[in-house]
Structure formats: structure tokens, C-alpha cells
Amino acid sequence: MSFLSRIGCIETEEQERSRLAQAPEGSLNHYLSTLPVTIDEWPKDLLVELPWQQPRTHQAYRVVVVPIEFQEEALPEGVEEEPLPRKRHSGAWMCAVVFSDHPDYPVSGFRIDVPAAEIVRGRKVDLATVLAPLSYVSGETLHTPEPPCGSCEDRGLFRPPF
């Protein structure tokens, strides 16, 4: 538990889970109340796979986004400061969709607003791990530990014939 949670400035994980669970059953917030927080860092520019498993939808989807810009949650009219304890993971992120098999969320720069509570319950995607099985990048591969082939001018790279 963080210091700010202990002194009552920010709601605890349990308080956040309880607040989200008060939403109607079947809603996104109610679904999020059943999931643990998996991303503790500021998510800007991370690759995040959103939690799209059942029972959220009738079938599981994979939607990966990059959070770009944070948008604070608007306070009700006439309220100048959020009451204590402040909400954990409030607000939303404007995100670019970088991978999706969901028909409503195309890739290629499509932007969506994603609640911060959903982002932090997603799965951080490590691009290095995802790309590691590939034997080449941009048409170039590394030599095996054998002597250089001569076609690459001893820089350790060669271009495949395809």
C-alpha cells in the first residue's frame, strides 16, 4: 500500500475494486473490478493488450493499444477539487490501436479512448519478446557463428535471396 493510500489521500486497491463493483453487472467497470492491477508504471507509450476475455464479451478478442495522451476525469459542475480519497486510476487515455482482431477497432492509426482503470488491468506487451522468434528483421539476418559469407563485406549481415 502506498503512503498516499495509507494516509487517505488516494483510495486503496480494495476501495477502488469496491467502487468499480458498484457499477451494474455486465458493465465494463463491474468487469474491471474482478481483475487485478497488472501495470504499476505510467502507461504512456507502452504497448498494452486490453482485457477482452469473456465474460466481458461473447467471445475473446485481442486489442493492443499504445496510450498516447491522458485525459483527466471531469469533476461535476460546481465542484472545484476532487474529494478525498482521490480515485485511483481515474480518467482515460487516448490510445492508438496497433493490433486488433475486433471488428469495431481497426488498426492503422485508429484512436480510441480507454479508461485508465482498464489500461492498468491490461497486459504489457514486450515487443522484444514478441519479435525474438523471428530470424530476420527488415530482410536482414545475423550470421551464424561460422566465418562470414563474404557477401556482406564482413559486417555480419546478409540479405536473403527472397
DSSP conformation letters of 141-156: EEPPSSPP-STTTTSS
The whole-model pTM stands at 0.72
Whole-Å CA distances, 140 to 79, 128, 161: 58, 17, 10
| Rounded Cα gap, residues 84 and 50, in angstroms | 29
Phi, psi of 21 (to 5 degrees): -70, -20
Q: How many CB atoms lie within 10 A of CB 77?
A: 5
Look up residue 11 and give its three cell numbers. 483510495
Phi, psi of 112 (to 5 degrees): -140, 155
Residue 79 CB partners (closer than 8 Å, separation 6+)? none
pLDDT tens, N- to C-terminus, the chain (162 residues): 666 555 667 788 899 999 999 999 988 899 999 999 999 999 999 999 999 877 677 788 899 999 999 998 877 787 777 777 788 888 999 999 999 998 888 887 789 999 999 999 999 998 887 777 655 555 555 544 455 555 555 544 444 444
